[in-house]
Chains A and B, each alone.
Chain A
Amino acid sequence: MARSLATRRSSHRLAADAGLLVVAAAFVLPLVWVVLSSLDTGADLRVKVPDGITLDNFDAVLTPEITFTPLLNSLLLCGGGTALTVVCAALAAYPLSRFRSRFNRPFLLTILFATSLPITAIMVPVYALFVRVNLIDTMQGTIFFFAASQLPFAIWLMKNFMDGVPKELEEAAWTDGASSLQSLVRIVLPLMGPGVAVVTVFSFVMMWGNFFVPFMLLLTPDQMPASVSINDFFGNRGMVAYGQLAAFSIVYSTPVILLYVLISRRLGSGFALGGAVKG
């Protein structure tokens, strides 16, 4: 019995491996294409071995106008938005996690409700509102909106991570006369370092890849982040230089992939889902 179970298990493993590899092959094709094309002088739209491996495409796109300015804009927008999100979320999560209050539950339910609203739907009224209050085409306006749209999920995650820090450690600090803010900054946040890192990276990655928000709220070309400027490759230039577009895509995607790898190594691959999707 035991032996037959064991052989059955190993044949199951082979079947599972084979099934997964087939799916992975389908998933990997577009990724292979972008890597090969970026190294290919004569890149076109299909996966093929490059005519000759070259870094010319990267050379061509690594200019201030094409790459550095949009990436710097992305960094400003997403860095600013993330900083605002993380600070506000940490402050908000603290009383929600530490003190009992009859407002906690309604507040958390509202937050959870807001995490799943389709933000895309409100971009038209946000545009109209921003025109009215003169925030349209400003970096700060876009940063504020980015932060607000990411806040519900950030507060929710932050609160769940904070719940995991035992209260006893703070009580000692309180008796020594530390204020709430001091104990939050000196004790709670350092103890939930990985949690703060998750919220930070997650917010940053979400903003870095977001296209619709800056597409709607920013108008001046030299303020555009990479998510919008990549569209220029398709614009009215006639022939699209696919090799350069591929090279730009790689340069633009690398930071978020690295951040993701960095954080998922530490926390297991399901990190981003935290408390929000616990079934």
Chain B
Amino acid sequence: MTAEAPHAATGPTTGKSPSGPPASRPPGPPPALLHRSLARALPVSPAVVLLLLFLAGPIAYCAFIAFTDLQLTGQAEESFVGFDNFRTAFGDEAFLNAVWMTLVFTVISALIGQNTLGLALAALMQRASKPVRTLVGGIVVTAWVLPEVVAGFLLYAFFRREGTLNAILEWLRLPTQNWLFTLPILAVSFANVWRGTAFSMLVYSAALNEIPKEITEAAQVDGAGGWRRMWHITLPMIRRSIGTNLMLITLQTLSVFGLIWVMTRGGPGGKSQTLPLFMYEEAFQKSMIGYGTAVALLLLVVGSLFSVVYLRLLRTEV
């Protein structure tokens, strides 16, 4: 920090302050101005350094090693292999399976599960009595706040052969099965719904609260039923929230690792192996860092595309 900064910051009054620039100054950017922008840039620098070294750096490094055959062991130098890793990936059935699993996981758990359930909960909460609202909100948010691994462990217990779900099914005299073995991708998707719905619920509650009461009441007096009001009035009014919410939960779901790792390790036989787990297995269990990183790069590119769309949705905000 310098003494100049506070005076400079007051803008128009700069010239009048005693330590301001002299009345006559040489042509070109005045030194005080340069000084001022430096003083203003200084506080940003720790953050920028951290971001460059530990975020932008790894991303750049990712883009580099994805094109090499870097391995963990038995190799002195990696060499540049061009697009080989990507060519291998698209010919690799395990990779294509992971892409498919990621798609299934994201569509079922985020786009359908979290999004719809979150909206439904938020809409019901608008009408529910206060104690019920508080109770339900508390339960759903607790699931969200729990650490990822704990959530994974709780749902692992829920879906195990000896677990609570089968106990309930038995009690209802319905057929039971070993969920983590027969339908692992559904089990982990449900787990992600359990853990993530609170986010959508909070986003939609905030959005619904901003709709003026008069509008829905007017429609109600005009005889529009609940579903019609939802479809023709509420949904169009919160469409921007829907867009941003879908974008964010998709991105969160794309990077889920711990939850699936704890519940199934991606198994059995890759039946719940999404891209992050595939990436981890190739890079570490098979020591193919280059190949694993190529997968990571693809994931990052998909994420960036979503991120850009998200920015466009928000473009008026910045």
- Which residues of A does B touch, CB under 8 Å? 5, 9, 12-13, 15-17, 19-21, 23-24, 27-31, 33-34, 44-47, 84, 87-89, 91-92, 94-96, 98-99, 101, 105, 107-109, 112-114, 116-129, 144-145, 147-149, 151-152, 155, 171, 173-175, 177-184, 205, 208-212, 215, 226-228, 230-231, 234, 242, 245, 249, 252-253, 256-257, 260, 264, 269-270, 272-273, 275-279
Contacts and interface: CB of A to CB of B under 8 A. Distances in A.
The 9 closest A-B pairs by CB, nearest first: A279-B241, A209-B147, A148-B54, A211-B258, A120-B255, A118-B255, A125-B62, A92-B47, A30-B154
Contacts of A107: 44
A175 B18 CA distance: 11
B3 interface: yes
B108 interface: no
Contacts of B44: 91-92, 95-96, 107
Given A179-B3, A179-B5, 12 more contacts: A17-B128, A20-B121, A45-B157, A88-B47, A91-B44, A108-B318, A119-B255, A120-B299, A121-B296, A129-B57, A145-B54, A277-B241
Contacts of A155: 47
Give chain B's interface residue range (CB within 8 Å of chain A): 35 or more
B141 to A, nearest CB: 7
A101 B62 contact: no
Contacts of B167: 46-47
Nearest to B155: A30
Interface stretch (B21-29, B89-97, B304-312): B304-312
B267 interface: no
Nearest to A177: B6
Nearest to A156: B318
Interface string B248-276: 10010011111001100000000000001
Contacts of B154: 30-31, 33-34, 249
Nearest to A184: B43
Nearest to A146: B54
Chain A residues touching B, majority SS: helix
A24 B139 contact: yes
A258 to B, nearest CB: 10
Given A99-B40, A128-B289, A174 B70 contact: no
Contacts of A174: 6-7, 9-10
Which of B139, B149, B262, B289 counts the most A-chain CB atoms under 10 A from its CB?
Answer: B149
B150 A230 contact: yes
A211 B124 CA distance: 34
Contacts of A129: 57-58, 61
B1 interface: yes
A122 B58 contact: yes
A112 B50 contact: no
Nearest to A111: B51
Contact of B133 (A20, A47, A210): A20
Pick from A44, A99, A113, A264 the residue with the most CB of B within 10 Å.
A99
B303 A117 contact: yes
Contact of B50 (A151, A177, A215): A151
A46 B164 contact: yes
Given A95-B40, A129-B61, A211 B147 contact: yes
B189 interface: no
Contacts of B3: 179
Contacts of A208: 147
A114 B70 CA distance: 27
A247 B35 CA distance: 58
B178 interface: no
Given A23-B136, A95-B43, A114-B51, A45 B164 contact: yes
B91 to A, nearest CB: 21
Contact of B310 (A9, A116, A257, A260): A116
A46 B303 contact: no
B164 A117 contact: no
Contacts of B117: 23
Contacts of A113: 304, 307-308, 311
22 contacts: A16-B126, A21-B136, A23-B140, A27-B136, A28-B139, A29-B164, A33-B158, A47-B164, A87-B46, A95-B41, A121-B297, A129-B57, A149-B55, A174-B7, A180-B9, A212-B276, A230-B149, A234-B262, A245-B153, A260-B145, A278-B244, A278-B317
B147 A253 contact: yes
A212 B135 contact: no
Contact of B283 (A19, A124, A230): A124
Contacts of B51: 114, 148, 151-152
Contacts of A128: 61, 65, 70, 289, 293
Contacts of A264: 141
Contacts of B299: 118, 120-121
A94 B43 contact: yes
A8 to B, nearest CB: 9
Contacts of A119: 255
Interface in B202-258: 202-203, 205-207, 220-221, 226, 238, 240-245, 247-248, 251, 254-258
